[in-house]
Amino acid sequence: MKIAAFFSAVFSVCILMTNCGNPSKDGSNTSTGPSIQQLVNDTTSAKHTFFLRFMDQQETDTSIIYTAKSLYHKDTVGLNVEVMKNIAAGIDANGQPDENLGFQTGSIRLSSIGNQSDALVTSMASLFNIEPRTRKMTTSTITPLVFSSNKHTVDLTSKSTYSFKLFIPNTVGEAAEVFAVVDLYKQSFELTEKDSTYRNQIIAAFEGQ
């Protein structure tokens, strides 16, 4: 991995994904609960951000598993997003990336919820203008290498916004690089492509290839 080149992008990630662990100022849920929204705001965008709302969750000893869903046109799409508790800060007290603590494999894990996850893969492939191979999300858990772009340890019991960079393994090329946000104010999960060069790898990873 090109660690040096990656470090140069960390600070722009913090700005892009907002606050690096500091509370968000908007998007809190109302008393009526979370509402499902469209997967993307602009289907013609050169770089896509996928937005999924946390609709349900279950807690384990070491993590919280969020069931995240959205709409692509009229179809419901989604997946499970498992976030480990107490993910270490990847940005030290001096504002520098911490190479030793910042990287953890599997501190965020993605898994299928069935047909809606298959629909998510198909929707992403359509937006990327890529022909999907299987049109199904893998039944295996996707376990990326994760860099925590946060100045504080992740606390899933409090309302904050946390930013990450994921390196998702696949068999068609180098690890797919995407930015991720776990927003406990909006109760949402966002994935933003680093750039369009990783699109084939993203779809391959989600299909288990």
Tens-digit pLDDT profile for residues 62-114:
999 999 999 999 999 999 999 999 999 999 999 999 988 999 999 999 999 99
Closest by CA to 178, choosing from 155, 139, 206, is 206
Confidence (pLDDT) at 21: 43
In 3D, which of 121, 142, 140 has the Cα closest to residue 199? 121
pLDDT score at 33: 63
This prediction has a pTM of 0.84
The DSSP bridge partners found for residue 80 are: 67, 111
Tens digits of residue pLDDT in 182-205: 999 999 999 999 999 999 999 999
Q: Name the amino acid, one letter, at 30.
A: T
pLDDT > 70? residue 22 = no
Quote the CA–CA distance of 12 and 27 in Å, as a whole number. Answer: 22
C-alpha distances (whole Å) from 75 to each of 46, 49, 105, 123, 181 are 22, 18, 32, 9, 23
30 pLDDT band (50/70/90 cuts)? Answer: very low
